[in-house]
Amino acid sequence: MPVTRLYTIVLLLLVAPLCSAETLRVAVASNFKTTLEAVVEEFEANSEHRVIIASGSTGKHYAQIRNGAPFDLFFAADARRPRLLEQQGHSVADSRFTYAIGKLVLWSPQPGYVDDKGQVLETGTFRRLAMANPRLAPYGLAAKQVLQQRGLYERLQSRLVRGENIAQTFQFVATGNAQLGFVALSQLHASGLARQGSLWTLPESLYDPIEQQAVMLNDTPAARAFLTYIKSEPAGRILRRFGYATPSQEGQ
């Protein structure tokens, strides 16, 4: 038996509650959906608990939770919304933590189209540039900050197409409805497109860190077990494989 698998089994046995299996309802930001599914697959393989995932924009999930949506955990694409839920009394006290740091890229399916300095934004003849709605999606806010830093946000307004979330934004580009777009690096890894097309990995100096936080909304044995697992090194390896930095990695 591989050491990683053995470590995971031992970890889950240690955190497994002495009670019947539960169904865990998790709200997750669109950019983290595929990664979370991989984490859930490993968790469920060694646990009696089952996980139901609902993905969407961080802003919409935040509004749903404030209005009483029955989620147990919330994995956001920013730190602001989990912090607000904590301040408003909608979450379990002291449960908020950073689970990943996202990375923004400018990507086109066309090889050689996006250069490694992002000059295509100023010189390109593209008709449509995709980005997530900055009011709803943290990756959209990061994209807006990049364009503002380059003095291009107002100039490119007529060519911007905004997705409700980063998943829809990625689809705009992948299907050719936009020639290029600001997407999450994790999406390219999840779709197998990280080595296809062309991309510019945005310098972190151009946008505020995409610190992705989670918070417990309903204190249950299943929720505690899952949070213990996702903070573990086996889960951290999954996150890094999908293109995220993890808090332990950032601290090195």
Residues of each annotated binding site for molybdate: 58, 166
- Total Cβ atoms within 10 A of residue 10: 10
CA dihedral 23, 24, 26, 32 (to 10 degrees): -100
- Residues contacting 251, CB < 8 A, separation 6+: none
DSSP H/E element including 97 = strand 97-102
Q: Which residue has the tokens 């301040």?
A: 87
Q: 219: which residues sit within 8 A by CB, 6+ positions away?
A: 92, 95
Please, are residues 85 and 56 in contact by the beta-carbon 8 Å criterion?
no
CA distance 85 to 87: 5
Known binding residues: 58, 166
